[in-house]
Amino acid sequence: MGRRFSGKKGKHGSKKPVNKVIPSWMVYKPKEIEKLIVKAAKAGKSNSAIGLYLRDTYGIPLVKTAAGKRIGQILVDNKVEKELPDDLLALIRTYLKLKKHYLANKQDKTAWKGMANTQSGINRLMKYYKREGKLSQEWKFDPERAKMLAE
């Protein structure tokens, strides 16, 4: 599948394990995995960082197969979810980096285009999350206020 704003084809990211069954060598029970996820979320890790942490540190290949629920659902059930979704926060951080670079280098028109594309992605994602009820209808992306949101 092609990329949205570049003419490149690109490659898909990491490959998930083929088998959707719990490996026989895994020693953690679903309740233990939930406790690990909640502990990592309280430490300030994002959902994707929690998945990487569990994979690398505890050898849990897929949380969904091991615990029966996704990381986001476990956080919602334990009332530890963040006010903004991770992907929206990542786009806001990218926007801030591009804006900082562009303000220092006004001649860099590629950075300006990247900033515009990122803001477009933020607006599309924001519209989706409002429709799904994950963001309030009054929430708006303000580039001036974005620094507080990304911290």
Over 70: is that where the pLDDT of 101 sits?
yes
Helices (H), the chain: 30-42, 47-53, 63-67, 71-77, 86-104, 109-132, 146-150
Domain ranges in the chain are: 30-77, 86-150
Taking each helix axis from N to C terminus, what angle separates 86-104 and 109-132, rounded to the nearest 10 degrees? Answer: 160
What is the average per-residue pLDDT within 111-121? 94
Class of CATH domain 86-150: mainly alpha
- Is the Cβ–Cβ distance between 71 and 50 less than 8 Å? yes
Please enumerate in sequence order all residues whose Cβ is within 8 A of that of 54, keeping only pairs 6 or more positions apart, or say none.
Answer: 33, 36, 37, 40, 60, 63
pLDDT in tens, 34-74: 999 999 999 989 899 999 999 999 999 889 999 989 999 99
